[in-house]
Structures are given as C-alpha cells and as structure tokens.
Amino acid sequence: MNRATASRTVPYGMSKAAARPNRARLMSGLTPYLFIAPGFLLFTLAILYPLVQAFQVSFYDWKIIAGAVSDFVGLENYQRALADPRFWHSLVNSGVYMLFTVPPQIALGLMVAMLLVKKGPAQPLFRVLFYLPVVTSWVVVSLLFKYLFADEGLINYTLGDFLHLSDGETSWLSSRWTAMVAICALGIWKGIGWSMMIFLAALQGVPRDLEEAAILDGANRWQRFLSVTLPAIWAAVIFVAVMLVIGGFNVFTSVLVMTGGGPGGATEVVLTYMYKQAFEYLDFGYGSAIAVLLTVLVFVLSVLQLKFFGNRDGGEK
C-alpha cells in the first residue's frame, strides 16, 4: 500500500524507477514508528512525564500548591526512608506478598493452561471462568475477600463448622501473617487467569513434531513436559515471572481495602505507605522518594531475573 501511494505521488518528469525505492524505503521505515507514535505519546504523557516529575519531587520538601517554591533537600528524603523502620516493614510485607503469590500464580496458571489447551466441549467456558477474576475490579473482589475472611465470614464457617479443621474463630484480618494469608489468597486467585492466558498462547507454539517424536521415543507425560513443552514456552515463563514480580511489589488496592495497612501498620505494604505519606500527610517529597526506591528495586530485580533465567533455552525460540 505504501509502495502504491509512493508511486502515485511521484512528480512528473522524475524517473519512477529512481524515486520509488527511496520513497518506499523511507515510508516503510517510518511505518512502524507511525504505528507506535500514538501509544508512545500516551506513554510519555501518562507514565514517563509523571515518572520524571516524581524523581524530581523526591529531592524536595515539596509544596503541592501551584506556584509555591519548594525547598531543595538533596538526598534527605532518601536518607529518611532508609532509616524509617515502617518503610522497611512495608517493604518486607511487599516482598513476602511477592514471594508467596508469584510461584503459585505461575504453577497454577501453567497447570490450568495445560488442562485447557486441549479442545473440549466445556473448554471455552472454563477459559472464561478462570479469566473472569482478572477483569473484575480490584475494589470489588477485595471487598468480597474482606467479607470472606471476616470473623464471621465464609472461610471461618467452612474451616470451623463444616470441615472442623479449626475452631472457626480465627481473626484473619487482625494480625500480620493471617491477614497476609488472606491478601495473598486474593492475589493468587485473581492472577491465575492472566498467567493462564499467556501460557495458553505460548502452548500453541509448541512444535507438534517434537511432541510426536518424544512420544515415539517413549517419553512419558512428565518427561515430555520437561523436555519439549517447557523449553518451548520458556520465554513466556520468563515474561510471566518478570511481570508478576513487578506486579507483586505493586500490591496496593487489596491491602488498602482489606486491612487499610492495619492493625497498627502491621500489614502496610510499600504502596499503601507511600500513598499515605503523599495523600494523607501531603508529604509528596517523601512519598516520591519511596516510589523511586521501589522503582529502582523492581528494575534491578527484573534485570537480574532476565540475566539469570532469560538465557536458559530462551534463545532458541
């Protein structure tokens, strides 16, 4: 189409043979950028600009008022964060959330994907059902889980009166680790559908001939999974792992809705702590410093993950 456009717009008197390749090459070189441009513009305005702005704010005792002059404080906000036990406490909680939600989401997501990759009459229904939590609002499902894990909620009823596994009087949301169990359960439940979807797409690319060859060689299901399927979808596994680790450190809505960071700050995570500093205490400089620290941490973790796991068989794909 570009080629056609180019040839039509060649001015009279100019050799078509000479003009076409240059124009065409220029146009076809530009095309991808033109497609990227709207998205990149949006990314620049909605993400890059605030990111740079937050980085700048983190070096100031920031006055939020339009036109007010803020005091430059250098690294003071960063020093304050590193010496703030509540910041470290929230970072540990975010880390624990990440550690206990990422592996189950990958394992269960992959398992569900393996089960649903084969064609069957109920397969579309199950795909939709597993994906449904992903598209449901965080606030809605957080409220739902808050009620499930309430003192007189369904979880206690099931464990106590129904299964007789506990006395049914666990105050899930009243202490740090039991509340983290509830928050992690929500994170896993809501996330499985997303990793399932990525794995389902990746599983379409597993070479059938390799699979058949492995069957002929007498490999059992588990051996075929390890030697054929997993290497073929390894890039997707890395992608899912990196995205989930980033997402794990960004846990926010569920904590804010289910515990509010309480009791007494016990379940505070980095983003709820940052949010409070900025929007409750109006300490935007400190809040921005915390945000920058988290960004750096997540960036480093992502690079490390890609470095350590990214090369394993991934290059073949």
Partner 1 sequence: MTQSHKGARRAATLVALAATLMAGTANAQDVTLTFWGSYGNGGNSAQQDALNEILIPAFEAEHPGISVDYVDVPYDALLQKLTTSAAGGELPDLIRADLGWVPQFADLGVLVSLSELMDDFQMYADKTYPGSLSTNLHEGEYYGLPLDTNTRVLVTSQAALDAAGMSEPPATFEELKAMADALGDTDMAVFADSGLGSWNVFPWIWSGGGAVTDPDLTVATGYLDSDESVAAIQMLVDLYQAGQIPNLIIGNQGATSTSDGLPTGRYANILDGPWMKAIWAGQYPDFEPIYAPVPAGEGGSVSVVGGQNIVLTSSSEHKDAALEFIRFTQTEMFQLEMAKSGNMTVIPAYADAQNDNDPYFAMFSDQLKTARSRLAIPQASQVDAIISGALTPAFQGDVSVKDALSDAAAQIDQLLARN
Residues that bind partner 1 (CB under 8 A): 63-68, 86, 146, 149-153, 171-175, 258-260, 262-266, 276, 279-282
195 and 131 in contact (C-beta within 8 Å)?
Answer: no
Between 149 and 199, whose beta carbon lies closer to partner 1? 149
Instruction: Give the integer Cα–Cα distance in Å for 256 and 102.
Output: 20
b vs e for 176-209, b when ≥16 Cβ sit within 10 Å of the residue's Cβ?
Answer: beebbbbbbbbbbbbbbbbbbbbbbebbeebeee
196 and 280 in contact (C-beta within 8 Å)?
Answer: no
Q: For residue 124, which amino acid is it?
A: P
> What's the closest the beta carbon of residue 157 comes to partner 1, in angstroms?
13
Between 151 and 313, whose beta carbon lies closer to partner 1? 151
Which whole-number Å values give the CA distances from 180 to 170, 255, 265, in the listed order?
13, 9, 13
Of the candidates 134, 161, 165, which has an alpha carbon nearest to the alpha carbon of residue 243?
134
> What's the closest the beta carbon of residue 223 comes to partner 1, in angstroms?
46
Between 54 and 117, whose beta carbon lies closer to partner 1? 54
- The helix/strand/coil state of 129 is helix
Between 102 and 148, whose beta carbon lies closer to partner 1? 148
> What's the closest the beta carbon of residue 176 comes to partner 1, in angstroms?
10
Cβ neighbors of 139 (< 8 A, separation 6 or more) are 253, 257
> What's the closest the beta carbon of residue 181 comes to partner 1, in angstroms?
12
Between 234 and 283, whose beta carbon lies closer to partner 1? 283
Between 57 and 112, whose beta carbon lies closer to partner 1? 57
> What's the closest the beta carbon of residue 185 comes to partner 1, in angstroms?
14
> What's the closest the beta carbon of residue 278 comes to partner 1, in angstroms?
9
Tokens of 278: 């900025």
> What's the closest the beta carbon of residue 198 comes to partner 1, in angstroms?
33
b vs e for 273-283, b when ≥16 Cβ sit within 10 Å of the residue's Cβ?
Answer: bbbbbbeeeeb
Between 183 and 233, whose beta carbon lies closer to partner 1? 183
Of the candidates 296, 305, 301, which has an alpha carbon nearest to the alpha carbon of residue 82?
296
